[in-house]
Chains A and B, each alone.
Chain A
Amino acid sequence: MSANPKNMVKVFERPASLTDAKFTYCPGCHHGLLTRIIGNVLDELDIADRTVGIAPVGCSVFAYLWYKADSQQVPHGRACAVATGIKRARPELIVFSYQGDGDFASIGTAESIHAANRGENITVIFVNNQIYGMTGGEMAPTTLVDQKTTTTPLGRDPKVAGYPIRFSEMIATLDTPIYVTRQALFDTKHIMDTTKAIKKAFQNQVDGKGYSLVEVLSTCPTNWRMSPVQSNKHVGETVTKVFPLGDLVDRG
């Protein structure tokens, strides 16, 4: 029996807050999934028309194309400073930055820490895939020990490059942040957990509570030289041992 579209129930659709622009992300990468989750949260909280998103430099440089919301594309690493400027200029706006590990935890270290410490009432989405995807797979501050990248061809040697930096734990030492959490997307349960965390991080801002950070462990099948399935397994079995999941701060 052929299905009549008129009798079908719609169980899945594009979030209303997302445009129909095609993602520039590689197959199997979690950026697209995460963008969907944010779109859904903007829908649920009905805030897209007063939201300003911040597109960083890196794989998500085109993030300003995905949302039916205002955006600012900003210099590498400066997203939290720009977010500060927008939010202070217009506190009624909902401001979120979307940053990779190079952007947030390397070149933007100072901006990331000080915006958190000032308690800027913003939402930060920090995508940790342990590699520089856009530029071709170089070492990130979060790259695992022994992980091969184009700039650690023999694997990351902690004697040369130090250990992977747990940036969210650093932020969690500060007294000001309201919510700091690390989540992942490698299976359905964790996708649901991430969705809840992102909703909470936006709700905190809507409620005027202050700074929220959601770190999301993400995959980079292209530069990890793994299939999407292997990549998810790698996050679940290996990456989460170095970057444990869960809430680090919850003062909400």
Chain B
Amino acid sequence: MGERLLLRGNEVIAEAAIRAGCQCYFAYPITPQAELLEHMANNMPRLGRTFIQAESELAAISMVYGAAGAGVRTMTSSSSPGISLKQEGISYLAGANLPCVIVNVVRGGPGLGNIAPSQCDYFQATKGGGHGDYRLIVLGPSTVPEAGELTMLAFELADQYRIPVMILADGLLGQMMEPVELPDPIDPASLPAKEWATTGAKGRAPNIILSFEMDPEGLKQINDDLQAKYRTITKNEVRYEQTDTDDADIVIAAYGTIGRICKSVVRMARAEGIKVGLFRPITLWPFPTEPLKALSERVDTILSVEMSAGQMWEDVRLAVAERAKTPFYGETGGIVPTPRSILNEVKKHVR
């Protein structure tokens, strides 16, 4: 393992990307992810790698498409309004089976919203924000060190499945500083060659990167292949964390920054003798439906807590069906629920 560093979440994501062998980074400035862009500006050129401040989010994601198609590890980052602009490119990346990493340091919405932390982009990230039947792998880190780990993982999963992977962080995680220990850098030259990439058709048939098929049967086949890939990912890559769920009467379901806050809520509640557990999805897509379903067989209530009007809540209800009660508590507008306010919500549902 590498040295111990004190870094902001945004910087950790950037540094982890560099260590994962990211060779090309393209982005447009936006708060609250500017430190990510700046860390890349400070470090990519001195490593002989590409940093470009793009003219727009559309251009940045299209540059990612080109670099991903050329077979290198590549990343872009932004915050909510900028991620909306990237949706065109994300759909094309998904359709063309191109691996890349996209970071969304979510801020309050809709529209220009504000720059406070939020989880209001869950639907956009997990349900397909652009056109067409596609999915991204979506990872929801809850701490600064985990943001680093999941960024490294994101590059691995992207290459393994030839799929765009999104890191769904939030403004709080992006701005917070914590000590982290990052793994040693991967040498990009040591990564396996991508036989499908456009690297020049010397001694082989041309490679073509595209998301285009005029024949309906052909496009159906492309969609069938995508869906088969998504089923494989759902089978293999579900990640989640459970805290004190074994004897719990009520379980909080929460991800990201709120997942972390809810760990404190569990401690506070247990100190008062309330048997609370935490179920924290780490992969938001694929959502940990089966483990949550299993949990719902033996608890009375699964309380979803989010910094949104209730987005992950829909996936929780789909998983739980009618097996347990599924209340919701959320704050919008960039308001971060306090442990005390969440505990008060928990108490409303304890007999």
Give Cα distance in the complex from A48 to B205, angstroms. 12
In contact, A90 and B92 (Cβ under 8 angstroms): no
Q: Tell me the B198-236 residues at the A interface (CB within 8 Å).
A: 198-203, 206-212
CB contacts (< 8 Å) of B211 on chain A: these are: 73
Q: Determine the distance from Cα of A67 to Cα of B208 in the docked complex, in whole angstroms.
A: 11
Closest Cβ of chain A: how far from B28's Cβ, in Å? 11
Q: Known: A78-B89, A89-B71, A93-B200. Contact between A68 and B66, CB under 8 A? A: no
> In this assembly, does B237 line the interface, its C-beta being within 8 Å of a C-beta of chain A?
no
B336 at the interface (CB under 8 A from A): no
Give A74 to B211 CA distance when docked, in angstroms. 8
Q: How large is the interface on B (under 10, 10 to 19, 20 to 34, 35 or more residues)?
A: 35 or more
Given contacts A49-B201, A72-B65, A75-B88, contact A89 B54 (CB under 8 A): no
Residues of B163-222 at the interface with A, using a CB-CB cut-off of 8 Å, are: 198-203, 206-212
Across-interface contacts of A70 in B (CB, < 8 A):
198-201, 206-208
Q: Using a Cβ–Cβ cut-off of 8 Å, how many residues does chain A contribute to the interface with B? A: 35
- The yes or no answer to A248 lying at the interface (CB within 8 A) is no
Contact of A86 among B59, B69, B88 (CB under 8 A): B69
Q: Does A244 contact B (CB under 8 A)?
A: no
Q: Report whether B199 and A90 are in contact in the complex, using a CB–CB cutoff of 8 Å.
A: yes
Q: Give the complex CA separation of A67 and B206 in angstroms.
A: 8
* Residue numbers in A under 8 Å from B70 (CB-CB): 52, 85-86, 89-90, 93
Judge whether B58 and A111 touch: CB under 8 Å: yes
Residue ID in chain A nearest B69 by CB atoms? A72
Is A125 an interface residue, CB under 8 A from the partner? no
Interface string of A39-68 (1 = CB under 8 A from B): 000000000111110010000010010011
Contacts of B209 in A (CB 8 A): 71-73
Tell yes or no: B23 within 8 A of A by CB. Answer: yes
Q: Is the CB of A82 within 8 A of B62?
A: yes
User: Which of B199, B200, B202 is packed against the most chain A CB atoms within 10 Å?
Assistant: B200
**Which residues of chain A are within 8 angstroms of B68 by Cβ–Cβ distance?**
85
Shortest CB-to-CB span from A56 to chain B, Å, is 11
- Are B202 and A85 interface neighbours, CB within 8 A? no
- A71 and B60 alpha carbons, distance in the complex (Å): 20
Whether B31 sits at the interface, judged by CB under 8 Å, is no
Asked whether, in the complex, the Cβ of B55 is within 8 Å of the Cβ of A114, the reply is yes
Question: Is there a chain B Cβ closer than 8 Å to A69's Cβ?
Answer: yes
CA A170 – CA B92 in complex, angstroms?
Answer: 30
Contact A68 B201 (CB under 8 A): yes
- Judged by a CB distance under 8 angstroms, whether A180 is at the interface is no
Known: A72-B69, A75-B88, A110-B56. A81 touches B23 (CB 8 A): no
Interface assignment of B125: CB less than 8 Å from any CB of chain A? no
- Interface contact A85-B63, CB-CB below 8 Å: yes
Decide: A61 near B67, CB < 8 A? Known: A48-B201, A114-B55.
Answer: no
- Residues of chain A within 8 A (CB-CB) of B201 are 48-49, 68-70
For the complex, is B242 an interface residue (Cβ under 8 Å from A)?
Answer: no
- Of B65, B69, B198, most buried by chain A (CB within 10 Å of CB) is B198
Answer whether residue B313 sits at the interface, using C-beta atoms and an 8 A cutoff: no
B92 in contact with A75 (CB, 8 Å): yes
Cβ of A75: which chain B residues have Cβ within 8 Å of it? 62, 65, 88-89, 92
Which residues of B sit under 8 angstroms from A83, Cβ to Cβ? 66
Kindly list chain B residues whose C-beta atoms are within 8 Å of the C-beta of A74: 62, 65-66, 92
B52 to A: closest C-beta gap in Å? 7
In B137-184, which residues have CB < 8 Å from any A CB? none
Instruction: Tell me whether B72 is interfacial, beta carbon within 8 Å.
Output: yes
Kindly list chain B residues whose C-beta atoms are within 8 Å of the C-beta of A61.
212
Q: Is the CB of B200 within 8 A of A50?
A: yes
| A87 to B50 alpha-carbon distance, docked (Å) | 10
- Report if A88 contacts B (CB, 8 A): yes
Residues in chain B near residue A64, CB distance under 8 A: 206, 208, 210
Q: Which B residues touch A142, using CB under 8 A?
A: none
Q: CB distance A71 to B56 under 8 Å?
A: no
Interface residues of B in 1-50 (CB under 8 A from A): 23-24, 26, 50
A118 surroundings in chain B (CB, below 8 A):
52
Task: Return B87 CB to nearest CB of chain A, in Å.
Answer: 11
Separation in Å of the B201 CB from the closest CB of chain A? 5
Complex Cα–Cα for A75 and B60 (A): 13
Q: How far is the CA of A74 from the CA of B66 in the complex (A)?
A: 9
Separation of A88 and B56 alpha carbons in the complex (Å): 17
Judge if A84 is at the interface, Cβ distance under 8 Å.
yes
A67 to B50: give the CA distance in the assembly, Å.
28
Q: In the complex, how many angstroms separate the beta carbon of B101 from the nearest chain A beta carbon?
A: 14
Q: Does B97 contact A (CB under 8 A)?
A: no
> B71 CB to closest chain A CB, in angstroms?
7
A-B contact pairs, 19 of them (CB 8 A): A49-B201, A49-B203, A70-B206, A71-B209, A72-B198, A73-B208, A74-B65, A74-B66, A75-B88, A75-B89, A78-B59, A81-B59, A85-B26, A86-B67, A86-B69, A88-B63, A89-B50, A111-B58, A114-B59
A-B contacts besides A82-B66, A110-B56, 19 pairs, CB < 8 Å: A52-B200, A68-B206, A72-B66, A72-B198, A72-B208, A72-B209, A72-B210, A73-B210, A75-B62, A75-B89, A81-B63, A85-B62, A85-B74, A86-B198, A88-B52, A89-B66, A92-B200, A93-B70, A111-B58
**Leading 3 A-B pairs by shortest Cβ distance:** A85-B66, A81-B62, A73-B210
Interface residues of B (CB under 8 A from A): 23-24, 26, 50, 52, 54-56, 58-60, 62-72, 74, 88-89, 92, 96, 198-203, 206-212
Interface, chain A (partner B; CB < 8 A): 48-52, 55, 61, 64, 67-75, 78, 81-90, 92-93, 110-111, 113-114, 118
